């Protein structure tokens, strides 16, 4: 199977990006396609076994634009796109589907609203380097009129600046080295004192910080830069280093020139990959002491931008690779708890207390995260509280929020409560949620005293506040 994947990649295989039932597009890797004129179907088989076989009827609408074939199904959640390595191959498949039949003409507005906008909205929330690179390359290949139309629609949708950020990390580097008047400013040490920027050799050839992201990328790949002839004379404290590293690691243009995405790295090659990332960062940011960069800094790419902003300052206080490893691993299962723990830099300064709190999260698996990982969440508009109520049913109102979290976490971990293998066999989040509710009722009766009645917390409080004269008399033996 591995050889098959390599051969597809080497020969410029076909990428598949397909919609799920929530109309969220997912990258399905490389695929094989078959045009079946007998059944009038386009058959698509992903190379990776975890993704499902897809078929498209010829009566659906197909449209080829440059090297991408857009497929519009009768239902939006069945839409998908095929990305070819050349425009000629894409056009050939398109012509084979239609042959001499009348070809459908899809407008840029249809492509954008039906497929591109949902994908771009997802990228702004959860970074996906592969899909980002595919779309950016495709947009750059478009004719001027088409490109301008898509850019205009992105601006109207309010996502253009999110897809093409205004040189955030370059602006950050400029702000480190210059004051408000544009003059070179003193840099702050970690202890709060100031000093002037250091240059290793006054005769060395130096280059000002590039004014655009493209210029920085060119500098990072230029032969002169590789030989050390051009350098950016800047130094960073840990907080600034983490911020710029996060922007570079999540940048869809891959300015670090990494051979794979950080989230695709297997555990047994993490160290080797981490050293590669560290060397690339040190080269672009001109950091002479490479030990200043944690070897596992690539793991911070797991944090979405909105979460990373909250913890950036705390990471600067904890530049230790062991702690960083724990933080990133705990975030997988307990994102809210980790963000809450790291949101206050003052609390993080007490390393002993912080380490204890961090260790306490080792076995924690937040309810919503568990439900998402086991594909139980089928309605993204619903809050966590709604899913808890569906599982706990009548006992939901008898426990506080913290108690509910604790009870459900125990329920998910207890093999007598949840059979994950049986759960995975069920199709659809709604059926899984219903089954969890059945299991929970049995498990709860065996492990807890079932509260009597179905009174809410508010009703019980109101009952306790009644005047003594109005309370029902109890029978005394």
In a domain, 144, yes or no: no
Residue 70 pLDDT: 94
Q: Count the Cβ atoms, other than its own, within 10 Å of residue 249.
A: 24
Length of the chain counted residue by residue:
477
What CATH number did the domain enclosing 44 receive?
A: 2.30.29.30
- The verdict on residue 273 lying in a domain is no
Residue 373's domain comprises 367-462
How far apart are the C-alpha atoms of 163 and 180, rounded to whole Å? 28
* pLDDT greater than 70 at residue 184: no
pLDDT at 230: 33
Supply the pLDDT for residue 112: 92
Residue 135 lies in a domain: no
* End position of a domain, from candidates 123, 141, 171: 123
pLDDT tens-digit map of 90-130: 999 998 888 766 666 778 899 999 999 999 888 877 767 78
Q: Could you read off the pLDDT of 158-170 as tens digits, one per residue?
A: 888 777 765 444 4
pLDDT tens for 324-359 read 888 888 888 888 888 888 887 777 888 888 888 888
Looking at residue 31, what DSSP letter applies? E
Strand 61-65 with 14-19, pairing: unpaired
10 or 111: which leads in pLDDT: 111
In the chain, the percentage of residues whose pLDDT exceeds 70 is 74
In sequence order, which ranges of 258-350 are alpha helices (DSSP H)?
A: 270-285, 305-317, 321-333, 335-342, 345-348
Q: Is residue 391 part of a domain?
A: yes
Relative orientation angle of helices 321-333 and 335-342, to the nearest 10 degrees: 140
Q: For 196-242, write each residue's pLDDT tens digit.
A: 444 444 343 333 334 444 444 343 334 333 333 233 333 445 677 88
Among residues 81, 101, 123, which one ends one of the domains?
A: 123
Neighbours of 467 (CB within 10 A): 6
Sign (positive/negative) of CA torsion 126, 130, 133, 135? Answer: negative
Q: Tell me the per-residue pLDDT of 391-433, one tens digit each, with 9 for 90 and over.
A: 998 888 888 888 888 888 888 888 778 888 888 888 888 888 8
pLDDT, residue 50, reads 80
At 56-100, the pLDDT tens digits run: 998 899 999 999 999 999 888 889 999 998 998 999 999 888 876
Total structural domains within the chain: 2
> Is 172 within a domain?
no
The answer as to whether 269 is a domain residue is no
pLDDT exceeds 70 at position 25: yes
What are the tokens at 32?
């094989």
At residue 430, the pLDDT reads 86
Establish if 410 belongs to a structural domain.
Answer: yes
- Domain end residue (candidates: 89, 123, 157): 123
- What is the pLDDT at residue 248? 87
pLDDT tens profile 289-309: 787 788 889 998 989 888 888
Residue 452 binned pLDDT confidence (cut-offs 50, 70, 90):
low
pLDDT at position 208, please?
39
Mean pLDDT, the chain, rounded, equals 75
State the pLDDT at residue 262: 84
Residue 418 lies in a domain: yes
DSSP bridge pairs for 448? none
Q: Tell me what pLDDT residue 204 has.
A: 39
């Amino acid at each position: 199977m591995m050889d098959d994947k390599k051969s597809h990649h080497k020969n410029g295989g076909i990428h598949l990006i397909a919609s799920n039932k929530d109309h969220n597009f997912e990258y399905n890797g490389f695929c094989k396609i078959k045009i079946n004129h007998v059944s009038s179907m386009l058959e698509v088989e992903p190379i990776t076994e975890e993704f499902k076989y897809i078929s498209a009827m010829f009566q659906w609408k197909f449209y080829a634009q440059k090297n991408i074939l857009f497929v519009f199904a009768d239902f939006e959640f069945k839409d998908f796109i095929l990305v070819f390595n050349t425009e000629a191959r894409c056009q050939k498949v398109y012509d084979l589907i239609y042959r001499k039949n009348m070809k459908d003409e899809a407008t840029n507005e249809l492509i954008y609203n039906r497929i591109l906008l949902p994908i771009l909205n997802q990228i702004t929330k959860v970074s996906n380097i592969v899909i980002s690179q595919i779309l950016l390359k495709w947009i750059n290949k478009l004719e001027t009129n088409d490109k301008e139309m898509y850019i205009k629609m992105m601006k109207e949708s309010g996502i253009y600046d999110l897809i093409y950020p205004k040189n955030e990390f370059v602006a950050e580097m400029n702000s480190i080295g210059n004051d408000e008047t544009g003059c070179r400013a003193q840099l702050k040490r970690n202890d709060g004192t100031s000093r002037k920027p250091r240059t290793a050799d006054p005769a060395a050839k130096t280059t000002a910080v590039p004014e655009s992201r493209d210029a920085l990328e060119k500098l990072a790949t230029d032969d002169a830069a590789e030989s050390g002839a051009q350098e950016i004379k800047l130094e960073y404290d840990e907080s600034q280093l983490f911020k710029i590293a996060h922007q570079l690691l999540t940048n869809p243009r891959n300015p670090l020139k990494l051979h794979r995405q950080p989230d695709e790295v297997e555990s047994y090659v993490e160290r080797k990959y981490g050293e590669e990332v560290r060397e690339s960062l040190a080269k672009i940011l001109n950091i002479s002491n490479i030990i200043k960069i944690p070897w596992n800094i690539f793991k911070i790419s797991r944090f979405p931008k909105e979460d990373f902003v909250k913890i950036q300052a705390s990471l600067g206080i904890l530049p230790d690779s062991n702690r960083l490893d724990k933080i990133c691993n705990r975030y997988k299962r307990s994102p809210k708890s980790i963000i809450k723990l790291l949101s206050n830099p003052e609390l993080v300064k007490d390393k002993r207390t912080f380490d204890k709190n961090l260790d306490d999260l080792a076995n924690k698996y937040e309810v919503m995260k568990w439900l998402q990982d086991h594909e139980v969440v089928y309605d993204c508009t619903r809050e966590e509280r709604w899913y808890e109520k569906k599982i706990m049913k009548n006992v939901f109102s008898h426990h506080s929020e913290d108690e509910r979290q604790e009870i459900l976490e125990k329920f998910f971990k207890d093999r007598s409560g949840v059979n994950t293998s049986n759960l995975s066999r069920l199709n659809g989040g709604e059926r899984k949620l219903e089954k969890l509710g059945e299991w929970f009722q049995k498990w709860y009766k065996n492990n807890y005293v079932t509260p009597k009645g179905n009174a809410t917390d508010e009703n019980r409080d109101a009952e306790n506040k009644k005047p003594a004269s109005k309370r029902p008399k109890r029978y005394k033996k």
